[in-house]
Amino acid sequence: MSATLLRDPTKRKLLLSAGVSWLFDSMDVGIISFIVAALAVEWKLGAQQVGLLVAINSIGMAVGAVVAGSLADRHGRKAVLLGTLLVFSAASGLSALATSFVMLCVLRFITGFGLGGELPVASTLVSESFPAHERGRAVVLLESFWACGWILAALIAYFVIPAYGWRAAFLLGALPAVYALYLRRAIQDSPRYREQKNPKLSFRERAASVWSPEHRRATLTLWVLWFTVVFSYYGMFLWLPTVMVLKGFSLVKSFQYVLIMTLAQIPGYFTAAFFIEKFGRKFVLVSYLLFTAASAVWFSQAATEGMLIAAGICLSFFNLGAWGAMYAYTPELYPTPIRSTGVGLAASVGRVGGILGPYLVGVLVAQKQTIGAIFLIFFVAIVIGACVLLVFGKETKGTDADLIPEQELPSSR
């Protein structure tokens, strides 16, 4: 973390406050990957049902990203951030009371709605609150809290689920509701949002501007990037505990190994945070994605315990570093009046990939396809995303999207 970020108490407070909400978001997403492994045993769920349960969460995230992104441009980042935090924590806690598969799917949709809405709004808020030479690093550091949330989820899976069951893990997901009371006083809307001259564009006007000639190429590039990254991430990582079981490890042993792999996410974020201001967004994204693709193939072909853990560590390191860079890159391509809408739409397209990825794995596992064949699909997807960004993506390091001429944005009615 740069010295400026550490020394400025206002920026430090914002980053840590938004980061903890991001941690809770990650914890909930991570917990479901461990819970489905336990549910598959207790409720005797088939592979397709497991894939459907995970996909339902992503459907909610896709809807939440669009709705919350749009509302944040109209009503402010802070109000929508708090609202989404309360929605997903309440639904997560209620998931502990689920008595049927259908009931759990409904609650996971609502949870996903809140989760998917919070992420683009939080990243937009942090991006807007830092100057150009710091914002990339700040957003990557915000994203690093995702690793902390996954580590917390892995610890809950390792210590809580075997001893107290999956319902106790869901109950812990209600904790963010308490944190929202603190967050209400701890953060404010970004200066850019408060000071903009025209904050009340309709959703139709903002969506049209996202696809205007000025932003069309960036939008298309982002949508391909988000789809391929989220498709591969959720397809691989939400199935990691189950894949470990399929490779012959016990449920508890698989939780232990996934925890080790998850720890590698933290240095992945920190190296990306360092390189993103030194070499630019495209360099970090393309290089980390290509290394992720190579690690996916390595993981799927690993034959020994040591090779499996080493490949999993590399997969976590590079994939989550790329995620941090993607969250830093996306808000920089749009001006303030449409920024959260643009980020929310891109994230929503990504969540479509998050729906298809886990469900596809469930279908292929049910068809007795090999892990190698399944992970080859993710290898191809990641390479496509990296190549599209390399060819069509615009470098945003040190740029300011608010400097585009005002007439290129529609006027409010």
For the stretch 59-74, pLDDT in tens is 898 999 999 999 999 8
Q: How confident is the model at residue 6 (pLDDT cuts 50, 70, 90)?
A: low
User: Residues 352, 358, 359, CA angle at the centre, nearest 5°?
Assistant: 85
Measured CA to CA, the distance from residue 57 to residue 108 in angstroms comes to 5
Banded pLDDT at 29 (limits 50, 70, 90): confident
Backbone angles phi, psi at 412, to 5 degrees: -75, 160
Contacts of 299 (CB under 8 A, 6+ apart): 308, 311, 312, 314, 315, 375
User: In this model, does residue 239 exceed pLDDT 80?
Assistant: no
HSE-up (13 A, CA, CB side) for residue 201: 27
pLDDT tens for each residue of 369-397: 888 899 999 999 999 999 999 999 999 98
Q: Is the pTM of this model over 0.75?
A: yes
Kindly report, residue by residue over 87-136, the tens digit of the pLDDT.
Answer: 999 999 999 999 999 999 999 999 999 999 998 899 999 999 888 888 88
Q: Are 158 and 71 in contact (CB under 8 A)?
A: no
Tell me the per-residue pLDDT of 200-211, one tens digit each, with 9 for 90 and over: 678 888 889 999
Q: CA 99 to CA 94: how far, in whole Å?
A: 11
CB within 8 A of 234, min separation 6: which ones? 54, 58, 353, 354, 357, 358
User: Which of the four pLDDT bands, split at 50, 70 and 90, describes residue 351?
Assistant: confident
CA distances from 297 to 38, 133, 225, 302, 356 (A): 27, 36, 20, 9, 20
Where residue 243 falls among pLDDT bands split at 50, 70, 90?
A: confident
Integer Cα distance of 75 and 79 in angstroms = 7
The residue written with tokens 């309360």 in the block is: 86
| Residue 198, pLDDT score | 59
Q: Which domains does the chain have, with CATH numbers?
A: 8-181+212-395 (1.20.1250.20)
The alpha carbon dihedral of 249, 253, 254, 258 has a sign of negative
Average of per-residue pLDDT across 177-186: 81
Q: How many CB atoms lie within 10 A of CB 411?
A: 9
Nearest in space to 155 (alpha carbons), one of 328, 26, 347: 26
More confident call, 195 vs 388: 388
d(CA 46, CA 363): 10
